[in-house]
Amino acid sequence: MKSYFPTRRNISRVLSILLVTVMLFSTFAIHRTAHAEDSEKKVNEDAVPPLLITEVVPQSSRVNSVDGFEFIEVYNNTNQVIDFADYQIIYRYPVGPEDDAIWTPNKRDIQIEPGKALVLWIENSGNKDTPVADFNEVYGSDLIENENIVKMPGGMANQRMRDIIIRTNTGEEIVAAQYNKATLDVEENLGIFYQYPQDGSNQMVKVSAAEKMGTPGIVESELVPENPVIIAPEQAPRVEDQTKFQQPIDHVQVAAEAEDDFLITTMTLFYKGKEDEEYHSLQLEKDEQGTYHHQIPIQHLIDKEEIEYYLEASNGFKQTSTDKNSITITEAENNQVPPLFITEVVPDSSNLNGADAYEFIEVFNNTNQPLNFGDFHIIYRYPTGSEAVWFEGLTDIMIEPGSPLVLWVENGKNDEVTVADFNENYGTDLEENVDIVKASAGGGMANGAERDLVISTNTNDEIAVAGYNKATNDVYENMGIFYHFPIGSNELIKVRDNEPATPGTVEADLIPTDLQSIDSNTEPVIQNQTEIESAQSGEKVDIRATVEDDFLVADVKLFYKGAEEADFQSVSLTSGEETGLFQSTIEFGNDDLQYYFVASNGFNQTKTETFTLEKEKIVEPANLQSPENHATDLETDIDLSVTIPNEEEEMLDVHFYEGLSINTAQDQQMKIYKNAVDTEPPAERVPAGETEFTEEEYEILRDSKDGKITTDAEGEFPYHRFEIPLDEVSLQQNEVEIVWQGSSLEGRKVTMYAWNFDSSKWEIVDFLVADSEEIFSLKGEVHIENYVRDGVINVLVQDEIPPREEYDYSFVWLSDTQFYTEVFPELYESQVNWIVDKKDELNIEYVFHTGDIVNTYNQMYQWEFADQYMKILEDADVPYGVLAGNHDIQLRPEIDYTNYYAYFGEDRFLHQPYYGGSYQNNRGHYDLISSHGMDFIMVYMGWQPDENGIKWMNEVLAQYPDRFAVLNLHEYLNGNGERSNIGERIYQDVVLPNENVKLVLGGHYHGSEVLLKNASQPIRVLSTEVDDNEDGTPNRVVHQLLGNFQDANRGGDGYMNVMNIDMERDKIYVNTYSPTLDDYDLFPPYTLELDLEPMTKRVSTNYLAINAYVDQKIDTVSKRFTDDELLTVPWNHLDENKTYYWYTMIENEEGEKARSTMWSFSTGKQEEIVSIGDVRILLDEFIADDKVRKPLSNQLANTLKQAEHHKQKEHKKQAIKFLQKFLDTVDKQQMQKHIAPEAKDTLQQQIQELVNEWEKG
C-alpha cells in the first residue's frame, strides 16, 4: 500500500489509509460492495478496464548517460491471473495512432497475479546489463526479475506529451494514461500516479505528478477499485470463418469474426502452401468493422495452386481453433507483366569519399525486342510524395531482349570510379554502356529510410514500382534487394534481401517464363482533342490529344508556330490525370496558330496532320486623328477624325458620342485633401488630420498646364484624397472611369483607390511602379452603386513611406513554439507578454513566426494556447505574421491545412492594416510594414511550397520591387547551415530573380544556425553575394538565417531572436533572449550588414478626372471599312470658350464592341486667368534675379501674403484693398531704385488683372 504523504513511517501510512478510506466512503464511493446501492455506479464499475496503468516514471537516475530506471506500472484489476503475452504497450505520440511505437517485454509469457502489479522496466542502450538490484536500490523496492518486474525495450520522453496505452494483441485498447499535457509532470525518479477511470472510459485519471518518489510494485488502494473485474475463465471464444475459398493470386485474403464474454486478446492466422510442411503464422488485429482479416503476401503465393489455413482465437484463458480450410488460387484479373521492371537494388555499398560508391538499380527487359532506355527514366520517390527524376536522357542505351541493364548511381562523390572498380567490388564482368551505365542520380539512395523507385516512360506512365525499407530494414552494404515481377499491379514483389548482390545477373525465379511478345511494326494512334477552333491574341489555349498504343506511349511532342512564322517550336508532353491525354498551354500570337503532334512507341512514330487555330476577329477601338487631344482655341464647327482598325474588313457601326468629364482643370466643386497616415491605405474614408488644398494649390491644378502639387511626409504614408460630386447624367450610368495623372520617384509604387461604401474600405483601382520621375497615368472603372453616396465619389492616391527618423527599432522572431503549446505554455505566454511590455522601450515594430506553431496538428488544446497567446500581440497592436510548419498540418495520406486555417486562416488577419494578401487562405501571405523610413514586405509560405506557391511569391515580390523583402519559410537552412533541398529551390526560383530579397528566415531544423562564408569559425549565417546584373560585381548580399531553439531544455526555454536595427551603421544585431530566464545569448549574437538607407517617397498630382461615357450621340456611320480607313464626322454649332469631351464606340454584326478612351478639346481662346500664386512665383523670380531688392521686396511679399489671407477667408474687399496697396507701393518714387523697370511693368499688369478678376467675382 502506498501513501501520498511525504513520510514513509508506518504510523503515517496507517493514518493516511484510514483518512483516505473515510473520505472515499463519505464523498465518492470508489469501493465495490457485493450489494451495490447505486445501479448507475455499478455500471461504471463494471466498465473499469481489466488492466490499469497506476504509475509512470519517464525520467530517472542515469546509467551510462541515459535514464536507467524508467518504468510503467501495470495493475491486474481482475480475479484471474493475466498472461501479459496477450497484451502490448503502445507508446503514442500526440499526432495519433499512425506513429505508434509498439513495445513488448523481453519475456512475453509473464503472469500478473490478481490485484498485483507488474513493473515494466524500460530498457535502453545504457541499462541493458543493469541488474534488478540496482533498480530496487533506487526506489527502495523489493522486486523480483521476471516475476513482478521485467525489462521492456523503449524510452519515454521527458518534456513531451505522450500517451501510454495497454492493448490486446488484436489491437483493442484497454486503458490509457497521459502525461505532460499542457504542464510538465516529469521529474527525476518521481512518480506520476493515476486512478482508475470512473466515467466508463479507458482513460486513467492523473492524481499526482512530480510530488513524491516512485513506488514501483506498490499500488495505493485509492488508485484501484475495491472489487475486481470478474472473469469466467472456462468460457472459450467463438470464431466464424468468413473466407472465400477461391481467390485471385493478387488478393488472397482470410477473414473471420470472433467474440468472447471477456476479450479476444489474440487472434493467430496459420497458413501454408498445400504441399508445404511448415505454417507461416502471424497475429491479426481487429479492423474498424470488428472483423479480422489479412491479405496473404503475394510472395508466399508464387507458384502455389492452393493455400491451407486455420485461425486460433484466445481470450487469455481458453483458445478456439477453426477447422483447416483451403483457398484455391486463381490468376490475377490483370496478369499483364510490365515490359521493363526492376529486379535488384543495392542502396548501400562500399564507401568512397564519404559516400556509397557502387549503388545500383538493375532493370530487366521483359520483351522480345530491344528497348531504348532513352524512352524511360527512374523516379526516386519519398514517402511524402515528393520526388526526383534520375537516369533521364540516356538516349541510345539499348537493353537487349530478356537482358538486364545496371543503372549505376553517380552521386557526386564517385565521379572518378570506373566500371572496372565496380566489377572488382561485385566480382562481375560488365561492359560500360552495354550492360551497365553510370549517370547522375542526385545524392544517391537513402539507406535507413523508406523509398520507392519507379520506372516511368518520358510521358509519365509509371510502369513498375519497387519499394524498400517499407516495414523492415532491407538495406545492407553490398547486399541486394531482389524483386519478383509484378502480379496484378505495377508493384514489384520483394522476395529476399541481405543476399550478395549480383548486378547484371537475373535469377530465373524473378522473371516470367516467357518474354512479352511485342509487334515492333505498330504505330501510336493520335486523336486531336483540342476543344476550340479559334482564339484571341494573347489568350492562353490548351492544345490536347489522346495517344494510344498496343505497347506503350514512349514519347509525345507538340510542334506549333504562328502561321507567318517559318519554323515550328516543339514541347514534350506528359500524360495528365486522365490516362492517355496529353496537353500543353500555348499563348496565342498575332496570327493563326498551326500545330501537329508526333508520338512514338519506341519503335515507330506517328505524325498527325497540321491543325490550325484561327485568330478570332476582334473589334479594336478607333484611333484618334484630330483634333489633337486637349486641343484649345478651336472653332465652334469642327471635324472629328479617327481611323478604323478592321483587318477583316467586316461591316461595322461607328458611333460618335459626347462624353462627360469632371476634372481638376474645370471643376471648382471638387475637394482635394492631403494628409499622411501610418497605414496604406487608411482604414477610414476620412482620416483625422487632413488638410484641404489651398486656393493657390487648386489654381495651380486648374490654371497651369504642367502644374502639380507634391506631398511628402515624415514617418507616415502621404496621400491625396479627392471628393468629386457627380452630375445627374453621370449618376445615371452604371460605372464611371477614374483617371489620375501625376508622378513619383523612380521605383516607387503609387496606388489609386476608390472608397467602396458596401465594404467600407478603400479598394484598389489601379497601381503602377514608376520607372522615372515623368508623369504617368492611373486608370480604372468603378460601379456607381458601390462607390457613390449622396452623389459623391471618393478617390485616394497614395505613395509609401518617408525619410527615416533618428532612432532605431526592433523585430522579434519566434519559431518552432511546438513544445510550448504542447507542454510548456507558460514559456510561450512569457514571450508574447515580454514583447508587449517592451514594445515601446525597444520600438518593436513586428514579430515573425516561422512555423511549427503547435507540435501536433490534431491536438486542439495546442491550437487554443497558440490562439490565446498570439491574440495578446493583436490586442496590443503588435503586427505579426505566421506560417504553417510540418507539425501544423496533416501530412498523410495527403497534406491538409484544416486546423491551421481554422485558427490562423486569412479571416484572422484581413482587418489588420498591414496584411497585404493571402495565398490559399494564409498558407502563404505577405505583410507590408514600414518603419523609420524603411519599407518592408514580409513574405510567408508554409510547408513545402508547390509550383503555384512559388509563382505567387514571385508575383508578390514583383509587385513591390521597392520594398526590402524578407522571405519567411519553415524549412530553408539545415542544421549544418546549408540550404536544404527545398531551400535551394527557393533560393534559385525566388531569391535570385527578385533583387529586393535581402533576408530569408527559416526554422524546422534544430539549432539557431548562421554560417558566415569564409569565416574562420562557424558563427552560424549563410550570407551569399548576388551579382544581379552579371557584371562581375555583387549587387546585394542575401542573409539566410536558421532560428530554432527546440533542442534546448523545455523545448527552447523561451528563447527567441531579437533583431535590433541600427540604420545609421546599416546593421542588424541579432541576439537570443529568454524572458523566462532573463538570459541572453543561448547562441552567440551576430551582426548582419545590410543597406538600410531609407528611401524618399512622394505623391504628386497633376490631374484627376471622373469620366462618364454617356450615350449622347453625335453621329453614327455604318459601312464595310477598309483597315485603318479614315473616318470624319462634323460636330457643329458648339459653344464658345467651352471644353468638350467625346469618344467612339465600334460595333460589329455579332454585337462585339470596342470603346475608345475619352478625348477633349476646347473652343475659343482660353483666357489666361492670373492667380495670386502666379504673382507670388513671379515676384520670387524677380527677387532671385535681383530685379526687386530690399526693402521693397519684403514690403511687396508681405502685402501679397495679406491679400491671399483675406481672399481665403472670403474677405474680398480687404483682399482687393491689399492689392491696391501693392500697386501704390510699386509706384512710390523712393522705391524706384529698388525695382527694375521690366519687373515693375510686369507686376503692375499682373496685379491689375487680378484686381479686375476679383472685382468681377
pLDDT in tens, 886-896: 999 998 778 89
CA–CA separation, 1055 and 1047 (whole Å): 11
Residue 324 has pLDDT above 80, yes or no: yes
Residue 487 has pLDDT above 80, yes or no: yes
Geometric angle at alpha carbon 75, from 71 and 79, rounded to 5°: 160
Whats the size of the chain, residue-wise? 1257
Instruction: Return the C-alpha cell found at 1134.
Output: 458648339
Task: Report the range of poorest mean pLDDT among 729-738, 821-830, 1066-1075.
Answer: 1066-1075
- CB distance 58 to 156 below 8 Å: yes
CA–CA separation, 1117 and 1114 (whole Å): 11
CA–CA separation, 1174 and 841 (whole Å): 49
CA–CA separation, 767 and 773 (whole Å): 15
- CB distance 1097 to 712 below 8 Å: yes
What CATH class is the domain 671-802?
mainly beta
Roughly what angle, to the nearest 10 degrees, separates helices 1172-1184 and 1192-1208?
160
Overall average pLDDT of the 118-126 stretch: 97
- Looking at residue 718, its pLDDT comes to 82
Beta-strand pair 638-644/623-626: antiparallel
* H-run or E-run covering 1250: helix 1237-1256
Overall average pLDDT of the 300-310 stretch: 92
The total of other beta-carbon atoms located within 10 Å of residue 1106's CB is 24
What is the per-residue pLDDT across 1125-1140, written as a single tens digit (0 to 9) for each?
999 999 999 999 899 9
SS3 589: coil
- Looking at residue 1102, its pLDDT comes to 86
pLDDT grade for 13, boundaries at 50, 70 and 90: very low
What CATH class is the domain 809-1089?
alpha beta
- Looking at residue 26, its pLDDT comes to 35
Most distant CA pair in the chain, distance: 137
The total of other beta-carbon atoms located within 10 Å of residue 783's CB is 14
- Looking at residue 981, its pLDDT comes to 86
CA–CA separation, 378 and 409 (whole Å): 11
CA–CA separation, 343 and 499 (whole Å): 13
Computed over every residue of the chain, the mean pLDDT equals 88
Geometric angle at alpha carbon 627, from 622 and 631, rounded to 5°: 125
Overall average pLDDT of the 254-272 stretch: 96
Overall average pLDDT of the 921-944 stretch: 92
Instruction: Return the C-alpha cell found at 421.
Output: 572498380
- CB distance 267 to 315 below 8 Å: no
What topology is assigned to 238-330 in CATH?
A: Immunoglobulin-like (2.60.40)
Side-chain-side CA neighbours of residue 1104 (13 Å): 25
The CATH number of 525-615 is 2.60.40.10
| Sheet strands (E) in 1027-1158 | 1036-1042, 1056-1062, 1067-1074, 1079-1080, 1086-1089, 1099-1120, 1125-1131, 1139-1148, 1153-1155
Closest CA to 717 of 606, 604, 630, 797: 797
CA–CA separation, 309 and 1134 (whole Å): 105
Residues 6+ apart with CB under 8 A from 378: 361, 389, 390, 391, 407, 441, 453, 454, 455, 456
Q: Amino acid identity, residue 548? A: E
Residue 16 has pLDDT above 50, yes or no: no
Residue 1017 has pLDDT above 90, yes or no: no
pLDDT grade for 1096, boundaries at 50, 70 and 90: low
Residue 380 has pLDDT above 50, yes or no: yes
- CB distance 499 to 478 below 8 Å: no
CA–CA separation, 1150 and 800 (whole Å): 46
- CB distance 601 to 552 below 8 Å: yes
| Region of residue 1227 (left: phi > 0; alpha: psi -120 to 50; beta: else) | alpha
Residue 807 has pLDDT above 50, yes or no: no
Beta partners for residue 758, in sequence order: none
Overall average pLDDT of the 1168-1173 stretch: 77
The values of phi and psi at residue 818, to 5°, are: -55, -40
- Looking at residue 32, its pLDDT comes to 34
Residue 652 has pLDDT above 50, yes or no: yes
Range list of H helices, 278-432: 419-426
CA–CA separation, 902 and 915 (whole Å): 18
Beta partners for residue 921, in sequence order: none
CA–CA separation, 673 and 691 (whole Å): 5
The total of other beta-carbon atoms located within 10 Å of residue 1195's CB is 18
Residue 1008 has pLDDT above 80, yes or no: no
- Looking at residue 706, its pLDDT comes to 67
- CB distance 1254 to 1213 below 8 Å: no
What percentage of the chain has pLDDT greater than the value 70?
Answer: 93
* Second-level CATH architecture of 340-510: Sandwich (2.60)
- Looking at residue 11, its pLDDT comes to 34
Closest CA to 963 of 804, 749, 744, 812: 749
Overall average pLDDT of the 478-491 stretch: 93
Residue 390 has pLDDT above 50, yes or no: yes
Residue 19 has pLDDT above 50, yes or no: no
Residue 841 has pLDDT above 50, yes or no: yes
| Region of residue 463 (left: phi > 0; alpha: psi -120 to 50; beta: else) | alpha
- CB distance 497 to 469 below 8 Å: no
Instruction: Return the C-alpha cell found at 395.
Output: 538516349
- Looking at residue 1130, its pLDDT comes to 97
What is the per-residue pLDDT across 941-951, written as a single tens digit (0 to 9) for each?
999 898 999 99
CA–CA separation, 828 and 1079 (whole Å): 15
C-alpha distances in Å from residue 699, one per residue of 1171, 1174, 1257: 7, 9, 15
> Virtual CA dihedral for 1173, 1175, 1181, 1186, nearest 10 degrees?
-140
Residue-range domain boundaries for the chain: 40-223, 238-330, 340-510, 525-615, 671-802, 809-1089, 1172-1256
What is the per-residue pLDDT across 1020-1042, written as a single tens digit (0 to 9) for each?
578 888 888 888 888 899 999 98
Instruction: Return the C-alpha cell found at 151.
Output: 525489462
Instruction: Return the C-alpha cell found at 9.
Output: 513511517
Closest CA to 681 of 790, 794, 846: 794
Beta partners for residue 597, in sequence order: 558
Residues 6+ apart with CB under 8 A from 414: 352, 353, 355, 356, 357, 358
Residue 589 has pLDDT above 80, yes or no: yes
Overall average pLDDT of the 742-752 stretch: 82
Residues 6+ apart with CB under 8 A from 470: 450, 494
- CB distance 759 to 685 below 8 Å: no
pLDDT grade for 104, boundaries at 50, 70 and 90: very high
What is the per-residue pLDDT across 1042-1090, written as a single tens digit (0 to 9) for each?
888 877 778 788 889 999 888 777 888 888 889 999 887 677 777 788 7
Tell me whether domains 671-802 and 809-1089 share a fold. Answer: no
Residue 14 has pLDDT above 60, yes or no: no
pLDDT grade for 256, boundaries at 50, 70 and 90: very high
Beta partners for residue 969, in sequence order: 941
The total of other beta-carbon atoms located within 10 Å of residue 103's CB is 18
The DSSP line for 282-307 is: EE--B-TTS-EEEEPPGGGTTT-SEE
Overall average pLDDT of the 1001-1019 stretch: 51
The CATH number of 40-223 is 2.60.40.1260
Whose cell is 502639387? That residue is: 709
CA–CA separation, 881 and 940 (whole Å): 8
Residue 468 has pLDDT above 70, yes or no: yes
Q: Amino acid identity, residue 166? A: I
CA–CA separation, 711 and 709 (whole Å): 7
CA–CA separation, 184 and 827 (whole Å): 12
Through-space distance between the first and last CA atoms of the chain, rounded to whole angstroms = 107
Alpha-carbon Rg for the chain, nearest whole angstrom, is: 42
